[in-house]
A and B are shown apart, each in its own frame.
Chain A
């Protein structure tokens, strides 16, 4: 469905945001996992017609994104990471307006549709409030609503759950997975759990390029029995980092823990852990050259 080939983008300040990106994405939820500054947002914007690349192509269902941006926009739902609103316009009015732009011209249909949408994102009660007076979470839900208008075939959501409380997050996840049934949904995030919960396919993205692509569970499994954990003293971190491939150091109940990757069982005190996608994620962004 979505085919990205040899995509490159270098900013005038020399940052290479996209480095020969190749991706094939099919219907369903696709997670794009990567650290801050990896170039995820650049990729999202580029797919969403908001930015051009230096070279490469993006094709969606036969639509050449760079040459037919208009066509793509008709089937696109896009929720940017950071966006603003017209402060003095109500959510209902704004969504109505967007619905119209997205081609829903029958007045009655549109009204019912927008009301339904507002209900789905739990904003129906606040539909008449000006967007400028929305809290961060409400604004995010509004953003979700606008991205869903018009049953898009390609949905791009960039860090969508930022600022949502757990309840809303679940609600949103449900909504997304429903949509994923017959659309391409790209979920860009740095929250591993989102990907674990939702996605059937994923890619790890770092330094402007795809590090690895695959099924989350399979990717996780590829490291089975090779991830070890040890409770350590804070002062020893440096030593471990020098000796092992440390994936993460974290506190658990006030104690310092370290997860390391190793083909063989490391020193005394390490134990094999029930490894997760997070471990794989850390593993892949630490050693981009190995996979």
Chain B
């Protein structure tokens, strides 16, 4: 065995490719870790980050492991050495052990190389002075050693024994590919399972590499835990590792004991044995041979060669298997991803084309790369080339036929997308197939990328002339180049990113939009580039025997002439022309800069303009906006007639205008101040900052008229999606007018440090800052103002701005709409235009006022409109009754195209993404109705945000978001009952807990939150729910009503802070519960509640006496996620006993409490003895998970008898 082992080792060490593998295993993690950055408070080289890099290597190195371990025994088959080898006096076990451990030693060397690579990489990273890459912790050997053992070594053992086994028994290379692909599928499936709350438990078992299991256990970790906790073989991670280690050992021992020389030598082939008994009947005459080599014959040859090549690919079993796998993965991925908030969306064609292709494309690219390699190497591998290459067929015919065949395969794979999409729709009972969209999408987006893959992979395989290495080079290009361009070049330039095209999205409103044009040119650009490569490939095409690289060059030179040269020149000229045209569009007509550019621009701007922060500036008290939208030309012209005031105590003599509109070419065309046209004395076109001298200073409290005209124009095609102005579905905000003040935009302290800017602990001023209290959070350019807008658009489209529609007319083939808001608004409004159908309804306020409800929607989306209307009505009702009557006469929900998933509330007007409920299939929902919920949240903003606007201070945003969330929760409770919001609370808890580790600042309490959405939405809703649950909804609402009355419409001259909100609630809270308000608003509190044990016994009178012990622990955490103190006081927590779950009238499974009470629990064990009528099955503490608790699974426990 030792001899076999040493031979294997020596064999490997003599092969140059071994060193290539080792080098790659070293350099890849090195580069990844050099360029790894941390945008959060996690150290760049935290134990968790190291696990990420090294764990990720398992997936990449699958390929190397396979190459080393898979062929150890197969080699004896391939080189036909088995026959002799097996006659030597070695036992079968020793042979296997020697081969296995010889290879495994090499694999382990590769793993060590990876570890050293990561060590050096992070070392270099820490050494370089790059504050924007995050902070580094000191080197810790353990952080590398543990993932080396638990991930790399375990995984290489698994992959190794698996491939060793399949190759020993099947002796087929295709099995190797399949095995690798199945493992990749398991990895991606486990990732998908993890993404869903209901299936995440399963991911731990499915994941062969342990990475998903690691993500699973670290899901609720804090930054501190990520930074300090070493990978440990415990919990679910241990389960995963030991499970797969067990599987590996099973496979290993199976191989060891099952392997026999005889079995190995036995050929599994069956004879095709189609012997025809018929004797040869000579033809009447054997025709005289006529050889034709004219161009027609050449064409026919090309055709028939292509056909043979094509058939030899598609007829292969592996091809069919890959396709079936691809379809399964695509269907699974589509099923998993085609949902929002746990509710499936309709299988619209625009979802199908992107989601199905997302699943199939990977497989298609694998197929194309593998078969490009096969096409290049087939005749060499089976040695047919020894006579085949001497046949009278030209190099270009041979070469072209293979490419044509592969393109044929690409067409088949493209059409497969269409077929699978249609089948998926059919199986889901959806029959509105949009065949045009299917074909357009797949042949403008998917097919070009396949074509590129074919040409590129073919070229690389020709050039590299080694199948494994060729595959690897292709993978390296596909994976490496995007990483390179993102991490190192920090660019989004589609001319540089391999296969890059300008961004785009599909929409029911906007269709393919204006994006096909730019995509066409960029696709052409990349295809031409790969055509050049493919032409180069011809001259390097390996025909016959080529002894050396030098000889190859000689042949290449010889071939590089005539047609090939002409073709190459043609492609080069075409490529350069298309490239130049694209460059002109992307870079000359439009802006195309890397992220460093914008960072620097913003840093420079801050250095230049930060002196204007907090300086007095004009504020708007009245605005008449005239906005002309030209959807077909995608341009906008706007005029604002402002009435401005000086609200400060000193005169204002400058006017600062900062353009913030998302279209790059946005100009201020005219500024007229009190009748005088102004010209800027400072014009910063890069940052779009313009500063004007006022002809006369504006005195405190003095007003002036200001007219600003702007226009925004789009040119050619841009790398930016330019979603603000679309052909059908324009939606932009007040930024069409410049702002009157400068605002900081860089918040990442690393980036700030890099540019020498002062580091910021908090982004907003403290609550004690009296200047900041006078500013509202949304826009400090105006307090409450009068708003009127006249919006025009193309005929056929409806344009909408906040306010009541007071006039509508047509002029010059355009439609005009005039709106006016009855009540003042903050400086925060939107303009929308598209071809809409309108659904109308109305709601009557308690006072009898009628409010018109309007849903502007795509004519294709009339399915879920009632949920939106219900959401609006119930929210209007709830907020009007509890806080203040809705001040306007209209409220609208307006659909905008699916480039983003959000809804936003402006006064009277709620633009709403078409993906956010309009196309959901609520009949299949097993979760809350999110169309209803989001609508009621947005409507609640009419109060929480628009009637009471938060100040521009730390934490104030909870006044807007947490309260809107609370109001929405209460409307849900009213509509669906307590049980109906269980799934909502569960996902809130999950989102909050898993969001904590991404905090890029220390974790803030609710009262201090500035950036964490998971705090102001999810934690906020948990806290508010618990408060109203403990003290009563009425009490909370009384506090909120007081708060609203005190601060509505900026009546105090300053805006409220989070502390004002806290005080308002604290004031109405009974003393015994005040601790909950403190915990919720000011602290970071996590409970660790669980049931220790529970026993029940039947009493003589037929009742049941249950004794159960619950353990309660309330822990305060500091802002780094470190445990601070454990509370020693008593806390109010639900405890209960439950019978069998019951199904309620709505078909929802709910708990069946036999006993349920809020109890004061001391820290530690609390024992209760309760008598119930029926036999309890489960005992629980906080069974509905109202409190924040990282392990909510142990809150219920079965009762023993």
Q: Which residues of A contact B (CB under 8 A)?
A: 11-12, 45, 48-52, 70, 73-74, 76, 78-80, 82-87, 90, 97-98, 100-106, 108-109, 112-113, 115-116, 118-119, 124-130, 132-133, 143, 146-147, 150-151
Contact = CB atoms under 8 A, between A and B. Distances in A.
A85 B382 contact: yes
Q: Which 10 A-B pairs have the closest CB atoms?
A: A50-B544, A84-B383, A103-B291, A73-B392, A80-B386, A84-B382, A83-B386, A128-B274, A109-B287, A119-B280
Interface stretch (B141-149, B297-305, B896-904, B1041-1049): B297-305
A70 B305 CA distance: 17
Contacts of B269: 132-133
Interface in B373-403: 381-384, 386-387, 389-394
A70 B293 CA distance: 10
Given A102-B291, A128-B272, 13 more contacts: A12-B550, A51-B544, A52-B554, A70-B392, A73-B390, A80-B387, A82-B386, A83-B387, A86-B382, A97-B308, A109-B290, A118-B280, A133-B271
Contacts of B291: 74, 102-104, 150-151
Contacts of A128: 272, 274-276
Given A105-B300, A116-B283, A133-B269, A12 B548 contact: yes
A288 B312 CA distance: 50
Contacts of A87: 382
B275 A126 contact: yes
B847 to A, nearest CB: 84
* Residue among B283, B305, B391 with the highest chain A CB neighbour number at 10 A: B391
Given A74-B293, A133-B271, A85 B280 contact: no
B850 interface: no
Nearest to A97: B308
B863 interface: no
Contact of B547 (A12, A106, A132, A143): A12
Given A51-B547, A115-B283, A129 B386 contact: no
B385 to A, nearest CB: 8
B289 interface: yes
A209 B707 CA distance: 97
Contacts, number: 138
Nearest to B316: A88
Contact of B282 (A45, A73, A79, A116): A116
Given A102-B291, A133-B271, A51 B386 contact: no
B392 A83 contact: no
A216 B547 CA distance: 34
A50 B390 contact: yes
A50 B545 contact: yes
A70 B543 CA distance: 12
Contacts of B548: 11-12
Contacts of B282: 116, 119
B383 A82 contact: yes
B289 A151 contact: yes
B389 to A, nearest CB: 6
A48 to B, nearest CB: 5
A133 B275 CA distance: 12
Nearest to B289: A151
Contacts of A115: 280, 283
Interface residues of B, number: 48
A11 B545 CA distance: 11
B563 interface: no
A35 B908 CA distance: 98
18 contacts: A49-B389, A76-B390, A84-B384, A86-B384, A101-B301, A101-B391, A104-B289, A104-B292, A105-B300, A108-B287, A109-B289, A112-B286, A113-B286, A118-B280, A125-B277, A125-B279, A127-B276, A150-B289
A105 B290 CA distance: 8
A70 B396 CA distance: 11
A84 B393 CA distance: 19
Contact of A104 (B283, B290, B381, B394): B290
Nearest to B554: A52
Contacts of A76: 390, 392
A36 B384 CA distance: 22
B273 interface: yes
Contacts of B279: 124-125
A82 B380 CA distance: 12
A78 B293 contact: no
B316 to A, nearest CB: 9
B384 A85 contact: yes
Nearest to B301: A101
A204 to B, nearest CB: 24
B318 to A, nearest CB: 13
B555 interface: yes
A196 to B, nearest CB: 27
Contacts of B1029: none
A11 to B, nearest CB: 5
B614 interface: no
B551 interface: yes
B277 A49 contact: no
A198 to B, nearest CB: 21
Given A70-B392, A97-B308, A129 B273 contact: yes
A146 B272 CA distance: 21
Nearest to B315: A88
A52 B386 contact: no
Nearest to B277: A125
B386 to A, nearest CB: 4
B545 A129 contact: no
A260 B547 CA distance: 40
A64 B217 CA distance: 72
A85 B379 CA distance: 8
B287 to A, nearest CB: 4
Contact of A130 (B272, B287, B383): B272
B382 A129 contact: no
A166 B548 CA distance: 40
Contact of A129 (B275, B387, B543, B550): B275
Contacts of A45: 544-545
B173 to A, nearest CB: 14
Contacts of A129: 271-275
A235 B392 CA distance: 56
B399 to A, nearest CB: 14
Nearest to A106: B290
Given A100-B300, A102-B291, A150-B291, A11 B547 contact: yes
B774 to A, nearest CB: 83
A103 B397 CA distance: 14
Contacts of A70: 392, 394
A57 to B, nearest CB: 14
B551 to A, nearest CB: 6
A103 B297 contact: yes
Contacts of A85: 382, 384
Interface string B697-718: 0000000000000000000000
A77 to B, nearest CB: 9
Contacts of A106: 287, 290
B275 A125 contact: yes
A86 B374 CA distance: 13
Nearest to B297: A105
Contacts of A12: 547-548, 550
B392 A143 contact: no
Contacts of A74: 291, 293, 392
A126 B554 CA distance: 43
Interface in B1004-1060: none
B383 A49 contact: no
B283 A112 contact: yes
A73 B545 contact: no
A129 B269 CA distance: 13
Interface in B531-555: 543-548, 550-551, 554-555
Nearest to A103: B291
Contacts of B389: 49-50
Contacts of B312: 86
A105 B292 contact: yes
Nearest to A124: B280
